[in-house]
């Protein structure tokens, strides 16, 4: 009999653990957290005293004090990486690799990750793909950075659990973030691909190309990475490609952390591999239905432990009750967005997103809202024909109702938007430097 690999063992466990009683899941998390916390305290200078609040005089862990552990910021990961990394990484969790984030929530950061964390993340992704009924036997158009090892159009092998008969027939076709829409369509047609991965920026460029060239293409589903798909993108994928959108909540720091419930009841956390918290400004859990910051602790990264790491995102805490789908995994009701991309009214309230109707009033396809002064904003947009004449007066009214009376608006039509190195497009950016505005 063939030896079961680590990732196969993890995947098989995840297939069972999603149905475990809730108290068994909590116990699993505490076992994993205890291992991580003790390892970090003993081998990382950053955590030597930082975790003291958790420990009783007899050395046992007081879980009631968990929310008293200080939250780690992105800035700390950037500036204190050397002290965060374990001086005695667990060799069985290797090999270890260096990863770099895209910087969509600030400056990019580099840190070590383990093979264990990667396996936990990939196995969790496979479980989410199974919930979404993605067929691993078909072809998936890849999305990644350029590498000497592969060129666009190369067949990389299976993209699902390779030991399963149907997944072994699947093919992942290499493409990069910068592969142009025309070439991506050619790959879809050549390999009869039913699935493809997209970031928000790539999706917008791809959909614009289909619409403006009347190019015909079909996919069964797209895997959406690097943010949630708004109504505009979701509708276009359905109307232009007859494709559903499969979202995942993931990051290089936390791995694959959450996937949509297959019956539509919010998002299930991958509680077996990461502790996810939605917290208030004091770092305490918010009540179900309330919005807070996403703080995560991935269990598998013992090379650079991230304990209560602030993801830079906001989310709505899910209900405590067991999901109607029967899975006992804790839930997130919705992911709200990036903290650094939120605009606030003078009274401190978060400005809501402009509606789909506002996009039609402007005659906009891809757009970006930029704060350029204390109360000055630009809406930059790429023109789209919605079948009705644009109504700028109506758009200005929608903007004023969404923002606040002091908010000044400038509307700018653009030919296109530049994409970041990982194919992302930010619909909200803050370009105002308060210091420069005051002559500092």
Domain ranges of the chain: 6-123+249-341, 356-437
Long-range contacts of 102-105 (CB under 8 A, 24+ apart): 102/226, 102/420, 102/421, 102/422, 102/424, 103/420, 104/226, 104/338, 104/420, 104/422, 104/424, 104/426, 105/74, 105/311, 105/312, 105/313, 105/338, 105/339, 105/340
pLDDT of residue 204: 87
Query: In whole angstroms, what is the distance from residue 70 CA to residue 86 CA?
Result: 18
Tokens coding 331: 């839930």
Query: In whole angstroms, what is the distance from residue 424 CA to residue 101 CA?
Result: 12
Q: Is the pTM of this model over 0.85?
A: yes
SS3 content of the chain, % helix, strand, coil (to 5): 30, 25, 45
Q: Among all chains, which residue has been given the structure tokens 């919005």?
A: 291
pLDDT of residue 1: 47
Residue 310, sorted as left (phi over 0), alpha (psi -120 to 50) or beta, turns out to be beta
Which residues, given as ranges, of the chain have pLDDT below 70? Answer: 1-2, 102-107, 226, 337-341, 420-423, 435-440
Contact 372, 432 (CB under 8 A): yes
**Which residues in 236-361 belong to E strands, given as ranges?**
244-247, 249-251, 255-260, 267-269, 274-279, 291-298, 309-317, 331-338
pLDDT of residue 439: 33
The CA–CA distances, whole Å, from 54 to 21, 32, 65, 386 equal 26, 15, 6, 57
Residue 249, sorted as left (phi over 0), alpha (psi -120 to 50) or beta, turns out to be beta
Q: Among all chains, which residue has been given the structure tokens 């959909």?
A: 207
Query: In whole angstroms, what is the distance from residue 121 CA to residue 256 CA?
Result: 5
Helix (H, G, I), strand (E, B), or coil: what is residue 410? Answer: strand
Q: Among all chains, which residue has been given the structure tokens 């700018």?
A: 412
Tokens coding 41: 């305290």
Of the candidate CATH numbers 3.40.5, 3.30.300, 1.10.3470, 3.80.30, the domain formed by 356-437 belongs to 3.30.300
Q: Give CA torsion, residues 95, 96, 98, 99, to 10 deg.
A: 80
Helix (H) or strand (E) holding 403: none
The full DSSP string for 282-314 is: TSPBPPTT-EEEEEEEESS--SS--SSEEEEEE
Q: Which fold would CATH assign to domain 6-123+249-341?
A: Rossmann fold (3.40.50)
Tokens coding 293: 């910051």
Going 25 to 26 to 31 to 32, the CA torsion angle's sign is positive
């Amino acid at each position: 009999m063939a030896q079961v690999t680590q990732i196969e063992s993890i995947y098989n466990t995840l297939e069972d653990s999603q149905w475990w009683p809730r108290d068994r899941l909590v116990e699993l998390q505490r076992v994993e957290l205890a291992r991580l916390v003790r390892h970090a305290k003993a081998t990382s200078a950053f955590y030597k005293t930082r975790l003291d609040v958790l420990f009783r005089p007899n050395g046992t862990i007081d879980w009631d004090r968990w929310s008293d552990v200080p939250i780690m910021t992105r800035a700390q990961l950037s500036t204190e990486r050397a002290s965060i990394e374990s001086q005695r990484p667990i060799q069985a969790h290797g090999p270890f690799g260096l990863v770099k984030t895209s910087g969509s929530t600030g400056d990019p950061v580099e840190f070590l990750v383990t093979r264990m964390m990667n396996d936990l993340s990939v196995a969790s992704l496979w479980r989410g793909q199974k919930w979404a009924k993605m067929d691993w036997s078909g072809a998936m158009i890849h999305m990644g950075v350029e590498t000497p090892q592969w060129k666009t159009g190369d067949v990389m092998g299976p993209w699902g659990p390779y030991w399963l008969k149907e997944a072994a027939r699947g093919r992942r076709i290499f493409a990069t973030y910068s592969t142009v829409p025309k070439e991506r369509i050619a790959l879809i047609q050549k390999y009869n691909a039913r699935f493809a991965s997209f970031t928000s920026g790539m999706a917008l460029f791809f959909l614009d190309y289909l619409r403006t060239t009347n190019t015909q293409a079909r996919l069964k589903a797209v895997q959406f990475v690097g943010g949630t798909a708004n109504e505009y993108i979701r509708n276009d994928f359905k109307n232009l490609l007859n494709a559903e959108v499969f979202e995942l909540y993931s990051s290089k720091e936390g791995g694959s952390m959450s996937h949509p419930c297959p019956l539509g009841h919010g998002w299930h956390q991958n509680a077996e591999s990461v502790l996810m918290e939605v917290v208030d400004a004091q770092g305490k859990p918010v009540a179900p239905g309330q919005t807070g910051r996403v703080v995560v602790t991935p269990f598998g990264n013992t090379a650079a432990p991230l304990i209560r790491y602030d993801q830079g995102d906001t989310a709505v805490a899910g209900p405590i009750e067991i999901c109607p789908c029967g899975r006992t995994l804790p839930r997130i009701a919705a992911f709200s967005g990036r903290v650094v991309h939120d605009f606030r009214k003078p009274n401190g309230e978060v400005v809501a997103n402009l509606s789909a109707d506002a996009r039609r009033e402007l005659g906009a396809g891809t757009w970006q809202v930029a704060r350029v002064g204390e109360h000055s904003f630009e809406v930059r947009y790429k023109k789209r024909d919605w079948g009705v004449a644009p109504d700028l007066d109506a758009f200005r009214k929608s903007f004023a109702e969404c923002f606040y009376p002091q908010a000044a608006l400038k509307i700018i039509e653009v030919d296109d938007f530049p994409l970041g190195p990982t194919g992302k497009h930010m619909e909200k950016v803050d370009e105002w430097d308060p210091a420069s505005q005051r002559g500092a």
